[in-house]
Amino acid sequence: MRKPAECETMAHIRAEIDRLDEDLVRLFAERAGYIDRAAEIKAEVDLPARIGSRVEEVVANVRRHALAHGLPPDLVEKLWRRLIDWSIAREENRLGPDSMRKDS
């Protein structure tokens, strides 16, 4: 693993980006495991896949993390809202329609 300043060629940079991409995919897969477990628990306690207050809490958290790490919060929010939509769709596939569940 090289720090950006230690990369002397495009091959070095590409190798590090590829490594980071693999790490990101692994982390997204790990996150998906938690989403699957959340769907199981939500089914047991009759919660919907989409809980609006939690969505906004997650977005606020990632915006704060983006600022702390020097990334544009608007970009990170857009990425996370897409990830959240995918996660909710994944939960809904396991839970069924939300129309009968309460948002809490």
Binding region: 14, 31, 42, 91
Q: How far is Cα 40 from Cα 33, in angstroms, rounded to an integer?
A: 11
Other beta carbons less than 10 A from residue 38's beta carbon: 19
CA distances from 91 to 19, 25, 29, 52, 75 (A): 29, 19, 14, 14, 24
Residue matched to tokens 């970009």: 75
Other beta carbons less than 10 A from residue 49's beta carbon: 23
List the binding residues for substrate.
14, 31, 42, 91
